[in-house]
Structure 1
Amino acid sequence: NKEGVRWLTLTDPAGRGVKVTVLSPDEGGKTVPVCSATALHFTESDLDAAHTTWQLSPLASVILTLDAFHMGLGNSSCGPGVLQRYAGEKRPYTLSLLFQPFHKKALKP
């Protein structure tokens, strides 16, 4: 998982793919300017079902997960809960994203 993502690209071996950009907040500041991103060759259910990593079979496709907010570690089940500064507000979050075609050859040095 990568935190504080403003943009990312996913490409095939030839450099063709997609660029995802997190758009800036609107004037009211109601959207999130960064996100958390995970790109894996496994589904969430595959990961939940596997007891060990050798039981996982990678998919040919990539599963991209983008989140507006992740709470810090801890849940009070066997100790203290999450520190307040990592708990986040209980409110709706909006994540505005722009998906664009991408090719590494289009980049200029």
Structure 2
Amino acid sequence: MNTTNTTGKFRKRNYKFLVSIPKTMVAPSKDPPLCDGCGDPFPLDERGNYNVNVIILNNSLWGVTCDRCADRIKVPRFTEREVPEEAVQTVLHALGADPVIYFLKR
């Protein structure tokens, strides 16, 4: 994805996306992950995955949030194809997960 504008300066991007991360990929010290908005732990779904909303503000990871907190942040929701690979890798690094991630369709 091209994130530069016509002047060649890096364009600031604000967006959110939803991912499903298997419990086995989360570092033990960060299990369960906590919502950065309300502080509640993420529940496991029926497949043993944490479904987290990732919030990117000004091209930087702001946090991971539950659905309720993500809805309060008014930025566009990106689909799997729109999310830059570096955003995915940042989330995986933050949670201590291996570089494999499963996107959820909204």
TM, length-normalised to structure 1: 0.24
Q: Name the one with the larger helix percent.
A: 2
Task: State the TM-score, normalized to the length of structure 2.
Answer: 0.24
